[in-house]
Amino acid sequence: MPVQPVTVQPSVSENKVPHRQMDAEARINKVDFNKIKTEQHRPVIALVLGSGGARGYAHIGAIQVLEEYGIRPDFIVGTSAGSIVGSIYASGKNAVELRDIALKMKAGDVRDIKLGMKGFFDGKKVEDYINDQVADTSLEHLKIPMYVVATELREGRKVVFNYGNTGQAVRASVSIPSMFVPAQIGETEYVDGGLVSPVPVDTARELGADIVIAVDILAQPVYTETTNVWGLFNQNINIMQNRLAREELKSADIVIQPDLREKAHIFDVKGREATIQAGINAALLKMNDIEAVFNKRHYPLKEKEVQFSVKDQY
């Protein structure tokens, strides 16, 4: 009896075509936040996470406290460090998971040296790291609507990405000029969103937020070391960003400002637990104010579920 030939079917993984996200884009916002007011009869809540380099760990602490009080934003707007934390949070991870990711992250996970005329960090590792954390989910498909602020380099315009490649948008938002090579999307180059909107409250208002909770992690110039070249570089950015932020923060309902002192390199990941705790402390100090804002909108807060700190977990 002749042996019948065996046809080997390729496995699912062999058939799988690598997923490629569409390039990040700034499209007209199609999320109708007014439905929240009309159907759920409550205010639209925006969480605004500002720029600030390694101080971005404080965002995690602030998010932790908001979660404990049952406050979930209807959308998030993030600039630079805020776009990193915001995008991962928007993908569906909670504060405990965010802390775990932050404490395990190595500088090498997001830093790739590429010496050139325009900068010495490429930014591709940031893009890949974010896409890995959000499971290659595009901005428009994240569980919480996410808006990433960057600066269009040629004209200095604010650009708000809300569609396409999440990691690519974040890469653009964190690309500090002269440090990072500008992020190129299509034919356009983008740099750090903190140049035009370090704490993007105005964007949140434009999108329809009734209550804006902003987390400002900018370094205060008075605490910046200016005895070396790196310190002077930081100080230039700090002065500019603080003036820009001061104006936008006037429009926020709540401003959470962790007590952080600028002493570390932007990629220094030491002391991250203390930085997260600073975010926790600052948010707790604002809870009475937050409750007052919510009560004014006839939207009382839930009972606080549990209180814990970084020290309780690690």
Provide Rg for the chain, Cα atoms.
21
Q: Which of 51, 74, 80, 138 is catalytic?
A: 80
Q: Which of 74, 87, 175, 192 is catalytic?
A: 192
Beta-bridged to residue 149, according to DSSP, are 79, 160
Known catalytic residue at 122: no
Residue owning tokens 């109708």: 32
CA distance 227 to 111: 26
Pairing of strands 45-49, 211-215: parallel
Q: Which of 286, 287, 263, 259 is nearest to 275 (CA)?
A: 259
Known catalytic residue at 192: yes
**DSSP H helix total and E strand total for the chain:** 13, 8
Residue pair 81/296 in contact (Cβ under 8 Å)? The answer is: no
- Side-chain half-sphere CA neighbours of 212 within 13 A: 26
Q: Where are the beta strands (DSSP E) in the chain?
A: 45-49, 75-79, 146-152, 157-161, 183-185, 188-192, 211-215, 254-256
Residue pair 311/277 in contact (Cβ under 8 Å)? The answer is: yes
Catalytic positions, please?
Answer: 80, 192
